[in-house]
Amino acid sequence: MTSSPDMPATSAKTPPAPAERPHNPLLAISLRLGATLALATMFMLIKLAGTYGVSMPELMFWRQAISVPLIAGALYFTGQFGKLGTRRPLAHAGRAAVGTAGLFCNIAASTLLPLPVATTLGFTAPLFAVLITALILREHVGRWRWTAVIAGFAGVLVIAGPGEIANVPVLGVAAGLGAGIIVATVSFQIRDLARTDTPISMVFWFALFGMLGASLFLPFYGRWHEPQVYLILIALGLAGTLGQFFIAASLRYASVATVVVIDYVSLIWATTYGLVIFGSWPPHTTWLGAPLIIAAGLIITWREHYLSRRVSPASAIDASALEEAAEDDPVSRTGT
């Protein structure tokens, strides 16, 4: 069929407009609040399990082992099992290796540090993402984001300065910052995987490969525990999986820029758990350094949101589709 001279020719290369997602900011914020509570509960349970002598490989195994059957079962019974399909198993394995290292750092930070301090150091991921963008990817970073990076690391120095070594263990700080670096790195891997695979498949393969990797260490570090300890381990796996689902669900109803500020509520949950469960209050420097790190993260988020709205019309559709795919994966933000 040929087109009439009066009819505009349609390019076969024009991409279809992305499907419009439902917009419900109040529901999105509520789901994000639920996610912060679930993930804070997970880290509290990790710290609690550590007091019973549970080793790190065991914690990592149970964190991932609970997610695998839950995700697979939910997709199977809803007729969506095909979403787990992938043609890039090696890319998933590489992403899982990096992500598992991030999980290790998160667990180490939660075990060694007061929960509010570990939580605050986790907020440094956007700072490291800016550094990776500028120093490794060689992309332009303007004065707003550089200012945010400087302010954020000033907050880190306040929390873990020379006068606070007795209150904040150096290894714990290193683990917390290591988690931030790795979460930032994983976000770039996810952007690549999001071009071909569904968000839920990325979560599933990360959990599966992570579980298999951690299981290799169980013969050396695993041991039998009391029944209540296994209940704690199962509960932390459930809390982590629930947190991931809540994050993914929140991004179906609003953009990251709308809900990301809610993530900082996790500092309130962590402080509450630290006081009620462990009878500990964070060092006073946490309350001086945390606002700097949080403000830096918010500035970076605002700036990224602002710049994303300035893309050219020709690339707007492709950028929007990729952004939606990347945003739907919770691990890129939690590293858990």
Decide: 47 and 115 in contact? Cβ < 8 Å.
yes
Phi, psi of 237 (to 5 degrees): -65, -40
Distance, in Å, from the CA atom of 52 to the CA atom of 55, rounded to the nearest integer, reads 9
User: What mean pLDDT, rounded, does the chain reach?
Assistant: 81
The pLDDT tens digits of the residues spanning 7-51 come to 444 444 444 444 556 778 889 889 999 999 999 999 999 999 999
The pLDDT tens digits of the residues spanning 305-318 come to 777 666 444 443 34
* Helices 56-77 & 25-51 angle (0-180, nearest 10): 140
Confidence of residue 333 (pLDDT cuts 50, 70, 90): very low
Q: Does the pLDDT at position 248 exceed 70?
A: yes
Decide: 233 and 49 in contact? Cβ < 8 Å.
yes
Distance, in Å, from the CA atom of 262 to the CA atom of 183, rounded to the nearest integer, reads 18
pLDDT of 15: 46
The pLDDT tens digits of the residues spanning 164-200 come to 555 678 888 899 999 988 988 887 887 788 788 888 8
Per-position DSSP letters for 193-262, written without gaps between them: HTTTS-HHHHHHHHHHHHHHHHHTTHHHH-----HHHHHHHHHHHHHHHHHHHHHHHHHHHS-HHHHGGG
Quick one: average pLDDT of 68-94? 91
Q: Does the pLDDT at position 120 exceed 80?
A: yes
How many Cβ atoms from other residues are within 10 Å of residue 231's Cβ? 12
Q: What share of the chain is helix, strand, coil (3-state, %, to 5)?
A: 75, 0, 25
156 by DSSP, 3-state: which?
helix
Decide: 82 and 184 in contact? Cβ < 8 Å.
no
Of 45, 82, 87, nearest to 62 (Cα)? 45
Of 32, 40, 29, 33, nearest to 272 (Cα)? 40
Distance, in Å, from the CA atom of 190 to the CA atom of 103, rounded to the nearest integer, reads 16
Query: Of 51-55, 244-248, 262-266, 317-321, which one has max mean pLDDT?
Result: 51-55
Confidence of residue 129 (pLDDT cuts 50, 70, 90): confident
Distances in whole angstroms, Cα of residue 75 to Cα of each of 72, 96, 143, 204, 295: 5, 21, 45, 11, 38
pLDDT of 7: 45
Query: pLDDT > 70: what percent of the chain?
Result: 82
Quick one: average pLDDT of 320-329? 42
Quick one: average pLDDT of 108-120? 91
If one compares 2 and 77, the residue with the highest pLDDT of the two is 77
Confidence of residue 137 (pLDDT cuts 50, 70, 90): confident
